[in-house]
Amino acid sequence: MATHVDDPRIIEFDVRTDEMLVNMGPQHPSTHGVLRLVLRTDGEIVSEVTPHIGYLHRCAEKIGENLTPKQWIPYTDRMDYLAGMNMNLGWALTVEKLMNLELPEKARHLRVIIAEMGRIASHLVGMGAYGLDLGTFSPFLYAFREREKILDLFEMACGARLTYSYLTVGGATHDLPPGWLKKCAKFLDELLPVITEYHTLLTSNAIFVRRTANIGLLSAEMAIDYGCTGPVLRGSGVDWDLRRDGETRYTEMYDGYAFEVIVEKDGHYPRDQVYPAVPGSAVLGDCWHRFYVRMLEVMQSIDLVHQAIDRYSTAQGAHAIPLKLNEKLPKGEAYLETEAPRGQMGFYIVSDGSPIPWRARARSSCFCNLSVTHEICRGCLIADVPAIVGSLDIVMGEIDR
Amino acid sequence: MSGPAFLDQLKKKFGDKITGANFEAIDPWIEVSPHGLLEVCRYLRDDPKLRFNMLNCISGVDYFEADPKKAAKTGWEPHLEVVYHLWSLPNKTSLVLKVILPRWKDGVVGELPEVPSVSGIWGTADWHEREVYDLSGVYFSGHPNLRRILCPEDWVGHPLRKDYEMPLEYHGIRGR
């Protein structure tokens, strides 16, 4: 009970708050998929965050033990459903590593085009949904407008708009249709100025900066310790990108491409003079930096697709090596990670020599990225929790598999 | 450093805690005994030359064939493997560690085999070990919070075991 005191300042100290457990989710609109967070709060301050996951668990790995690798491709689509192409690619490369398959040049460049377009589409949703998390609706609509055009291109290539199963073991299911490259190049030329516009919508928006700068700090050491990868790792200033540092089987896809890892060096991002400057309040490893890395990666991917289109149009060979659906796998095991939009997506295949893998394992990037939330949310405000979790850009389909 | 030279170095340091290796595999691996795992992992992470500072993935693989005809041809005894995929960011090298476990502790069906938790060495292990415990049924001793992570907490069994059977019923929902 507050007793009467003359000095009004003393009352402040007399008000006691209780610790409270607040449940956020499992269907909170500002979480990406079905995530449930249990917050231990003291007033507005969050002292502990416990994520509860598994609401989208579909036993993908168990199913993978009962299907041939090619048949499992559609299940990889449904892991990170915002970047189905990149999931297909990860699994296809892993199986090719086990089978020791060398792909024709044309198939490799086709994969770069598709994978980087997938990255753009995914980062666009990431950007729009992050705006949504922070309470601004319009960037989401803009992002989806652009993404729609990429989906149109993907539909032209493989007939599907979300679950593609396009990149498959041995290459791709079809070659790109005539006229596709022209359409794709035209789209990229249109996208470039639009992205600059998006930068003004969010990146340099004063409210956005206030909500994200210096919030949810993740140090480089902690990011590595928790296995955070992708934009989350690079947003903490770690110069690491599998497209450059990964295994040869993956990096050879990008051989000879002009490519710079998007990471801050000495206070500058590559070519950052073109884009909004880093605001003074932003600290390396905060939500703003993670978001910014994603935005710059879109530009990077546009660049890469342009280069890939040039190479693809002069490349030799076919778009795929024909393989049977139940092709026999050699005995052995292989693990490969690729740089998916949300981080390093790893697949592990163990084979006993039959056409069906003994074990299919998916190492999810978001799974590791989310596991760091309890560290970076400690001591933040309740209103910052969606901002921090949103900045990790998670997709629950991939976490729960 | 080449694979065999690296193995020699490890063997010199840890003796019989390194139980084997395979350098012919696509991703060469080193086998570590469960009781030496913590020591080896800490060394791999902290040695200034090795610096395997990122644990990418922990996977459980169950080697069990129910069909006796097929089991005769497999070439292995039933066992369980826990596979650790490591990266060294500074050196850009990867490494695979394996721990071979019996399928059940002391051969008693239902008693999970034990392996020490590396969650104190790499933060990634926290959730990954929970996942392996949940799906493959490995008990990570010393884990701060070893609860199921993907399946509901009252789920029975470990789905990625090869002899797993779906429950007939779960809270009134028909299983099979």
pLDDT per position as a tens digit, A48-72:
899 998 888 888 999 999 999 999 9
Query: Residue A86's pLDDT is what?
Result: 92
CB pair distance less than 8 Å for A226 and B150: no
**Residue B74 distance to chain A (closest CA, Å):** 8
Report the share of chain B in percent with pLDDT over 90: 35
Amino acid at A217: L
Query: Residue B70's pLDDT is what?
Result: 83
Q: How far is CA B172 from CA A56, A283, B159, in A?
A: 20, 51, 19
Residues paired with residue A52 on neighbouring β-strands, in sequence order: A36
Query: Residue A75's pLDDT is what?
Result: 92
CB pair distance less than 8 Å for A225 and B122: yes
Residue in chain B lying closest to A331 (CA): B25
pLDDT per position as a tens digit, A289-343:
999 999 889 988 998 999 999 988 888 888 888 888 888 889 999 999 999 999 9
Q: What is the mean pLDDT of residues B85-111?
A: 88
A102-161 residues touching B, CB cutoff 8 A? none
Distance CA A253, CA A244 (A): 10
CA angle in degrees (0–180, nearest 5) for B16-B19-B20:
135
Beta-carbon count within 10 A of A357 CB: 24
**Which of B56, B70, B98, B132 to mutate: most A Cβ within 10 Å?**
B56
Is residue A23, in this structure, part of any structural domain at all? no
**Residue B97 distance to chain A (closest CA, Å):** 12
* Domain, as residue range, for A83: 58-400
Distance CA A110, CA A329 (A): 25
H helices of B58-165, in order, are 68-74, 124-136
- What is the ipTM for the molecules in this complex? 0.89
Distance CA A30, CA A375 (A): 20
Query: Residue A1's pLDDT is what?
Result: 46
Burial class (CB in 10 A: 0-12, 13-18, 19+), B133: buried
User: Is residue B1 pLDDT above 70, yes or no?
Assistant: no
Interface residue A371 vs chain B (CB under 8 A): yes
Query: Residue A5's pLDDT is what?
Result: 55
CB pair distance less than 8 Å for A368 and B27: no
User: Is residue A43 pLDDT above 90, yes or no?
Assistant: no
Interface residue A98 vs chain B (CB under 8 A): yes
CA angle in degrees (0–180, nearest 5) for B157-B160-B164:
50
Residues of A within 8 A of B96 (CB-CB) are 335
Interface residue A211 vs chain B (CB under 8 A): no
CB pair distance less than 8 Å for A222 and B123: yes
**Residue A123 distance to chain B (closest CA, Å):** 23
Nearest to A398 by CA among A336, A348, A330, A346: A346
Q: How far is CA B64 from CA A345, A362, B77, B112, in A?
A: 28, 21, 8, 15
Q: 């708050």: which residue's tokens? A: A17
CB pair distance less than 8 Å for B123 and A371: yes
CB A98 within 8 A of CB A349: yes
Dihedral over alpha carbons A107, A81, A120, A148 (to 10 degrees): 100
Query: Residue B129's pLDDT is what?
Result: 93
Task: State the total domains in chain A.
Answer: 1
Residues of B within 8 A of A358 (CB-CB) are 61, 63
Torsional sign, CA A28, A31, A35, A36: negative
Interface residue B71 vs chain A (CB under 8 A): no
pLDDT per position as a tens digit, A180-209:
999 999 999 999 888 888 888 888 888 889
Interface residue A354 vs chain B (CB under 8 A): no
Of the candidates B89, B148, B151, the beta carbon closest to that of A224 is on B89
A135 pLDDT band (50/70/90 cuts)? confident
Residues of A within 8 A of B144 (CB-CB) are none
**Residue A5 distance to chain B (closest CA, Å):** 47
**Residue A245 distance to chain B (closest CA, Å):** 7
Q: What is the mean pLDDT of residues A379-391?
A: 88
Residue spans per domain, chain B? 3-174
Residue in chain A lying closest to B125 (CA): A226
Q: In what order do the strands lie in the sheet with A343-351?
A: A332-340, A343-351, A359-363
Half-sphere exposure of B22 (CA within 13 A, CB side): 12
CB pair distance less than 8 Å for B127 and A371: yes
Nearest to B98 by CA among B8, B150, B4, B25: B25
Of the candidates B61, B96, B149, the beta carbon closest to that of A53 is on B149
Of the candidates B53, B56, B149, the beta carbon closest to that of A363 is on B56
pLDDT per position as a tens digit, B157-172:
899 998 888 888 888 8
Query: Residue A272's pLDDT is what?
Result: 62
Of the candidates A54, A245, A368, the beta carbon closest to that of B151 is on A54
CB A92 within 8 A of CB A320: no
CB pair distance less than 8 Å for B85 and A367: no
Query: Residue B16's pLDDT is what?
Result: 82
Q: 């990954």: which residue's tokens? A: B128
Is residue A1, in this structure, part of any structural domain at all? no
Q: A with B: how many residue pairs have Cβ under 8 Å apart?
A: 87
Report the share of chain B in percent with pLDDT over 70: 99
Of the candidates B61, B92, B124, the beta carbon closest to that of A359 is on B61
| CATH number of the domain enclosing A270 | 1.10.645.10
Interface residue A59 vs chain B (CB under 8 A): yes
Strand boundaries in chain B, DSSP class E: 18-22, 29-32, 54-63, 79-88, 93-101, 114-116, 139-141, 169-170, 173-174
What backbone phi and psi angles, to 5 degrees, belong to A300? -60, -45
A278 pLDDT band (50/70/90 cuts)? confident
Average per-residue pLDDT in chain A?
Answer: 87
CB pair distance less than 8 Å for A359 and B59: yes
Is residue A95, in this structure, part of any structural domain at all? yes
Interface residue A185 vs chain B (CB under 8 A): no
Beta-carbon count within 10 A of A72 CB: 26
Query: Residue B65's pLDDT is what?
Result: 86
Structure tokens at A97: 């590593």
Is residue A43, in this structure, part of any structural domain at all? no
pLDDT per position as a tens digit, A219-251:
999 999 999 999 999 999 899 999 888 888 888
The angle that helices A105-133 and A384-391 make with each other, rounded to 10 degrees, is 180
H helices of A7-137, in order, are 8-14, 60-64, 69-77, 84-99, 105-133
- CATH code for residues B3-174: 3.30.460.80
Query: Residue A223's pLDDT is what?
Result: 92
Distance CA A382, CA A298 (A): 30
Residues of B within 8 A of A372 (CB-CB) are 123
Distance CA A336, CA A331 (A): 17
Query: Residues with Cβ < 8 Å from A82, sequence gap 6 or more?
Result: A121, A122, A125, A126, A341, A395
Query: Residue A137's pLDDT is what?
Result: 85
User: Is residue A11 pLDDT above 60, yes or no?
Assistant: no
Of the candidates B55, B85, B149, the beta carbon closest to that of A335 is on B85
What is the C-alpha R_g of chain B? 18
A133 pLDDT band (50/70/90 cuts)? confident
Query: Residue A273's pLDDT is what?
Result: 60
pLDDT per position as a tens digit, A342-379:
999 999 999 988 899 999 999 999 999 999 998 898 88
Interface residue B93 vs chain A (CB under 8 A): no
H or E segment at A231? helix A231-234
Query: Residue B166's pLDDT is what?
Result: 86
B109-168 residues touching A, CB cutoff 8 A? 122-124, 126-128, 131, 135, 148-152, 159-160
Residues of A within 8 A of B74 (CB-CB) are 352
Rank A21-35, A259-273, A329-343 by mean pLDDT and report only the highest.
A329-343
Structure tokens at B132: 């392996």
Q: What is the mean pLDDT of residues A134-160?
A: 90
CB A127 within 8 A of CB A341: no
CB A89 within 8 A of CB A119: no
pLDDT per position as a tens digit, A95-107:
999 999 888 888 9
pLDDT per position as a tens digit, B42-53:
998 898 888 899
Q: What is the mean pLDDT of residues A1-30?
A: 66
